[in-house]
Structure 1
Amino acid sequence: MKENLIATKTFSFALLMIDLFLELKKENEFILSKQIIRSGTSIGANVEEAIAAQSKRDFISKISIAAKEARETKYWLRLIHESKISKLNVSQPLEEIEHIINILTKIVKTSIQSESKT
């Protein structure tokens, strides 16, 4: 079975978000930790749903939701980074989410273009 790059990247990212969640909880940061675990793990879940989509339109819908969740996750990561609410270094997750957003955006655009040609 061929490896799916975005599925692999979003799964690895979800594991990273679980680690971040646990570290934030250790620092008694419960609000942002809950936000980051929800949005950060749902990206990959939506990608998996898109892979099993019943139609092109369903695929585009699920991948678009994954892209929105990725943008939300980027927001929470930026808040953690810039607010100094935590001493944790979130530079690597911020870089990774940028890559994921770029890939998902390209998938959405390409899928919409190919659907409009049919």
Structure 2
Amino acid sequence: MIVRDNVIRTKSYAFAIRIVNAYKFLIDSKKEYVLTKQMLRSGTAVGALVAEAHYAQSSADFVSKMSIALKEANETCYWLNLLKDTDYLEQQAYDSLSADCNELVALLVSIVKSVKSSITK
């Protein structure tokens, strides 16, 4: 595995905590349950898939799990955008969560590309 694996594990776990806290806030204060639940599922799935990839059975298995984590991160960005554009999520909270989400997407894209290119060599 690559050195960035530790960075992605740390950042994806921290992001999951932020997503859980945002979920609790939106449920309590905005009484929004459907979109928020989708954000919770995809946002916490990123870290779970990264953790699972740590013990992947092969490079192909690692790439597969990280690729699914990338899809979940991208989906989370979608839910964050929708929550902001429907006035459930305030701009400041959105900016912060969105920046973290976009950083995860960029890291995962880099990891997947890097490992795929090392497999084909």
Normalised by the size of structure 2, how large is the TM-score?
A: 0.91
Distance in 2 (alpha carbons) for counterparts of 1:93 and 1:6: 16
Unaligned runs of 5+ residues in structure 1 are: none
Query: Structure 1 residues 93, 87: closer, same or farther in 2, change over 3 A?
Result: closer
Unaligned runs of 5+ residues in structure 2 are: none
CA RMSD of superposed structures (Å): 1.5
1:56-111 CA-to-partner distances (Å, cap 9, x unmatched) read 00000000000000000000001111221344731100001111000000000011
Distance in 2 (alpha carbons) for counterparts of 1:41 and 1:22: 13
Q: How many residues align?
A: 116
1:41 — aligned with what? 44
1:6 — aligned with what? 8
Distance in 1 (alpha carbons) for counterparts of 2:88 and 2:108: 29
Contact 2:26/2:88 (CA < 8 Å) preserved in 1? no
- Cα drift, residue 35 of structure 1: 0.4
Normalised by the size of structure 1, how large is the TM-score?
A: 0.93
Query: Structure 1 residues 95, 87: closer, same or farther in 2, change over 3 A?
Result: closer
Q: Is residue 111 of structure 1 aligned with residue 119 of structure 2?
A: no
1:83 — aligned with what? 86
Aligned residue type for 2:116 = I
Contact 2:42/2:76 (CA < 8 Å) preserved in 1? yes
After superposing on structure 2, the runs of 4+ consecutive aligned residues of structure 1 that deviate more than 2 Å are 85-89
